[in-house]
Structure 1
Amino acid sequence: MRNLVLALLIGSALLSCKKKTTDSDCEHKICTEEFRSIVLKFVDNKALAAEVKDFTVINQRTGEKVYANSAMAANLTKGSYIVVDDGNTKSLSEEGDDLKITGTFEKTGQTKSAIIKVTGGICACHINKVSGPEQIAFD
């Protein structure tokens, strides 16, 4: 009886182990060549584009700052900021990560934040926005 219990414990421990996914597990995946990015717009109380300072994006799961690779090359239009792009895919989880976006309105000094949920993963071809606002409005 004791051997049966021991065998069941060992068997369940082995079955509960999950293999960690690596880049080599993804080599047969076919992806499109599009490049996705998620843009968030800051607006003032009149719904006009608002320039912000101290713009940050923090991954709430890891506590690390997120830098979109394409953000350095382009600041689309006034008040629009690239939050994350396909260059960040591997640093995001398959289940989705909450990204806290914060900015301070230059004219008033008011700071606002919002959270968007974005999926990625080691084998993901692209990021995908799950939830969250399209813009942040200042008072």
Structure 2
Amino acid sequence: MNHKSHIKNPCTLLFLCLVFLFQSCSEKDNEKCDGACTEEYRTIIVKIVDSEDQPVALDSFKVVNLKNGRDLTIQVEEEVLQSIRERGSYPLFSDKYVQEYIQQQLDINFTGLIEGEEVVSEDYKVGADCCHVYHISGDLELTLE
């Protein structure tokens, strides 16, 4: 008896081709956006304190993309900046950049100055998924001596 297997239904053939195609994709290719994002707005914060655990008020701060030198500093209004200084909590990376860096990771640097002198410089790795930014590495709580 001769047994031959024929796929007669074109939908079955299409399904098998799709299964093969999806199994051959890399893990990054399988990261899909399903549209189920929360409506919260996330910002990664760097908290800076002195040796007595008091908030450090920087005169200015800057965040740059280490790959291309692009300024990623989040601009804030003066009254918000005053609150940031009082708490010593500075914005590092926010959902403002989700669409630009979707499904990517990047290396950034945070620099803070007091009276024109650099008092802090710290490197971070951050990323963005389909909905929000996230912290990968780098100390988010810094103590200045």
TM-score when scaled to structure 1?
A: 0.66
Q: Give CA-to-partner distance per residue, 1:114-138, whole Å, 9 cap, x none.
A: 11211126xx211111111122222
Q: Give CA-to-partner distance per residue, 1:20-56, whole Å, 9 cap, x none.
A: xxxxx96x63311111111111212222101112300
SS in 1 for 2:80: coil
Which residue in the other structure is 2:134 paired with? Answer: 128
Match status 1:81 vs 2:81: no
- Runs ≥4 residues deviating over 6 A: none
The share of aligned pairs that are identical, in percent, is: 26
The change in CA–CA distance for 1:110 and 1:30 in structure 2 (over 3 A counts) is closer
Which residue in the other structure is 1:103 paired with? Answer: 112
Which residue in the other structure is 2:71 paired with? Answer: 65
Q: How far apart in 2 are the matches of 1:87 and 1:46?
A: 33
Which blocks of at least 5 consecutive residues in structure 2 are unaligned? 1-31
The Cα of 1:112 is off from its aligned counterpart by 1.4
Which residue in the other structure is 1:92 paired with? Answer: 101
What letter is aligned with 1:33?
A: E
- Structure of higher CA gyration radius: 2
Checking the alignment, whether the CA contact within 8 Å between 1:68 and 1:88 is kept in structure 2 is: no
TM-score when scaled to structure 2?
A: 0.63
Which residue in the other structure is 1:114 paired with? Answer: 122
Which blocks of at least 5 consecutive residues in structure 1 are unaligned? 1-24
Which residue in the other structure is 2:47 paired with? Answer: 41
